[in-house]
A = this chain, B = another copy of it.
């Protein structure tokens, strides 16, 4: 039981989901948690800001140690609980290289997803341009094609023969793409990866409830 841990999170957020997955993989269930609504702008509430001055979710605390960036929380928990639960870092240098590389490539992937899915939220009305949104979509398409190429031809794992930190970090982002309408036909390897890990216990146990309760969006349907 991880009673000295607290996770503030928002529904369907890939960065939040990463932390939930690693907590499951490391047998750290029983942590304190609280759900905030992005729609109601609760991530800008005093309670969140007190833990994460950026006003973003997740906000994660272990004792007095605060680690809010999702990849930082994942690295922190792996280091502290190396020998507990699933071993998430391979010994093999070739697999290690791919694991860290994919993990950190979550940043450009996430940014390009946001530049399309949240374009109207991020850009004030008077500054919007069809040409910019079109370019953002092209950039995201190139990015997603790159990830299609990264996917394992067979097997469920991004970096070698086992589930690693790369999967903890990247799976939620891939699931988010499909939730927003990405075509399984256009991206068969991404779809295979998505479906292959759906029933992994850590992922199934933390699958966003809001995704079960509401229909997905189609903004990426034609990507």
Contacts and interface: CB of A to CB of B under 8 A. Distances in A.
Interface string A82-107: 00000001000110111011011101
Contacts of A100: 67, 69, 71-73, 75-76
Interface stretch (A36-44, A126-134, A182-190): A126-134
B69 A94 contact: no
A141 interface: no
Interface stretch (A58-66, A172-180, A192-200): A58-66
Interface residues of A, number: 38
A80 B95 CA distance: 12
Contact of A107 (B64, B79, B107): B107
**Copies of this chain, whole number:** 2
Contacts of A72: 97, 100-101, 103-105
A72 B71 CA distance: 11
B69 A79 contact: no
Nearest to A53: B146
B97 A76 contact: yes
